[in-house]
Amino acid sequence: MEKKLIFVTNDDSYASKGFKAAIEVARQFGRVIAIAPDTVQSGKSQAITLFDTLRLKKISEQEDVTIYSLNGTPVDCVKFAFDYMLKDEKIDMTISGVNHGSNSAVNVLYSGTMGAAIESAFYGIPSVGLSNLDHSEDADFEACVEYGKRIVKAVFEQELPRPLCLNVNIPILPVEQIKGIKICRQTKGYWRENFYERKDPHGGTYFWLTGAFDNHEPEAQDSDEWALNNGYVSVVPVQVDLTAYNQLESLKGVF
């Protein structure tokens, strides 16, 4: 395989263990330019920075791997790479992650990691979003690197549909216990939130947003939640056109 140019980003910041794991995957295939947020940007979705300035900092430079931080969102990092830093180069792929925590089901829409992957697909650059179900800071990324390499290799070697954006989640299991890769659809369900009410030392009321995922179809064997709960790596192909095509006809003449 010829040497590729791979862009790496994430939403847990350049300092996260998962980011290093994503770079480890990418460097197997060629040259790596990595730009990640300078602070944690979890839950930032497809957000962009419109009213603040952006500053870039070079973190490290080794043969074939250069790492930067940017004080913006994951999507800012993609745009900065594609339309500024690498605008005259051919980027072969974006790897986003490895996220600390699941991006299965509707999380795909809240996730900064997947926001960056979707953004890449807008530009026609295939993207692989990798997420580890273990959200702890010192999570084990061995299985993520192993499966990440396998999936990235397949994307490079095979003719896959375009635009391509893969939402890959990896269960918390040793590599040898993972049953394989399952192509899935996004699980139906949503988060129900609990707002924890607290008082500050001055008597003011504040809230913390916290919640739990309510799976509407726990038995659906083609859903990503089922795959993950049953020991598989889940791969959901993500579309970037949000039109509900199946509703177009029924809305004509309604308004």
Q: How far is the CB of 83 from a copy of itself (least distance, A)?
A: 4
Q: How far is the CB of 63 from a copy of itself (least distance, A)?
A: 26
Q: How far is the CB of 85 from a copy of itself (least distance, A)?
A: 9
Which residues, 6+ apart, have CB-to-CB distance to 48 below 8 Å?
72, 73, 75, 76, 79
Query: Of 101, 106, 140, which is closest to residue 21 (Cα–Cα)?
Result: 140
CB-wise, 108 or 143, nearer to a copy of itself?
108
Query: Of 238, 98, 228, which is closest to residue 163 (Cα–Cα)?
Result: 238
CB-wise, 161 or 174, nearer to a copy of itself?
161
Please tell me the distance from the alpha carbon of residue 24 to that of residue 29, in angstroms, as a whole number: 10
Please tell me the distance from the alpha carbon of residue 239 to that of residue 234, in angstroms, as a whole number: 16
CB-wise, 63 or 248, nearer to a copy of itself?
248
Q: How far is the CB of 184 from a copy of itself (least distance, A)?
A: 8
CB-wise, 1 or 244, nearer to a copy of itself?
244
Please tell me the distance from the alpha carbon of residue 34 to that of residue 58, in angstroms, as a whole number: 10
CB-wise, 64 or 85, nearer to a copy of itself?
85
- The token pair that represents 169 in the structure block: 């989640």
Q: How far is the CB of 148 from a copy of itself (least distance, A)?
A: 11
Q: What is the DSSP letter of 140?
A: -
Angstrom CA distances, 85 to 25, 115, 173, stand at 22, 20, 38
| Angle, helix 142-157 to helix 17-26, in steps of 10 degrees | 30
Residue whose pair of structure tokens reads 């460097």 in the numeric block: 27
Q: How far is the CB of 232 from a copy of itself (least distance, A)?
A: 11
CB-wise, 62 or 248, nearer to a copy of itself?
248
